[in-house]
Structure 1
């Protein structure tokens, strides 16, 4: 069998496992999902599951994957800027990121996935901010400020995503951008 056919088959199998996982998360709590459930849902055997993932946690991590990075790149068009527009787009990117998971909010999903989403979002924000912060800041200040601003951006998007504010995401993004930039004047 050719490499191209084998790669296509592996990609389809991995997607079948992801689809089975998403379907199962909508039906039962994460803790109750077994590898047998996932294999059955994807119409593969357990060994095939293990050829792709070590466990259901690795599958979940793969599913969350690079969506935070993708959301940031999509909103910023890959340009790294520390200005009102750049910060506004970071807040909107994290709002987009939280709209991505297409699963019902079952108890285990909230307790397991939301912290993982938060960690990924903050990590990607820090990486962006480390490149974007003004060069007149010292290295220590850049590390500190990137962590603080990433937390602020994340929290504002999280408040919006959870419905804890009546403000729309564009208003929140603009207010956070002004708040962040005011600290650098």
Structure 2
């Protein structure tokens, strides 16, 4: 019975991966607004009903793809068991900057992907990651740790978004140093 469950899990994973790949191919060709569920299902070589077994709509699929991509970027950039310190903060900031630079390339967002959805997913994942990191090393209550994560997350997110949409005036490394110095100066230096 255990083997059957594993096979089902693999089939689910494989189907989701096919849908994700189909989504990415179609969005590159048509853009988000012009694509529909049938386009994604056709590209993934599954029927439309199969799509709805896994996702409510294309927005849910986009959200999952963005979140998973961002989480992978964080996993690749930050040590396996990070500590809440300035070096870790800098790696997190650089990850966010690189993510937005990849998306916007120092120009206004493309209409091919709804930037608000993309940004909300990244901001939520960033805040969650920071809350876990800050909470694991803080003696603060969970409410205080969560509030700090939101504040630090918005500082990083806002600065990275603005930087990625402007004509480049400083490198990602320089911008990361500026963001980190602002966060540390703002009162988190007792932990960083």
TM-score by length of 2: 0.75
Alignment equivalent of 1:124, drawn from 128, 132, 140: 128
Is this contact kept in 1: 2:96–2:157, CA < 8 A?
yes
Shift of 1:12: 2.4
Alignment equivalent of 1:20, drawn from 22, 30, 51: 22
Q: 2:170 matched to 1:167? A: yes
**CA offsets, 1:127-152, max 9 Å, x none?**
245326764x6766544433222111
TM-score by length of 1: 0.77
Q: 2:50 matched to 1:48? A: yes
- Please name the residue that 1:145 is paired with: 148
Across the two proteins, how many residue pairs are aligned to each other? Answer: 180
User: Runs of 5+ in structure 2 lacking a partner?
Assistant: 104-108
RMSD: 2.9
Shift of 1:112: 4.5
**CA offsets, 1:98-137, max 9 Å, x none?**
3666xxx6415144533333433442354245326764x6
Alignment equivalent of 1:87, drawn from 86, 89, 97: 89
- SS in structure 1 of the partner of residue 93 of structure 2: helix
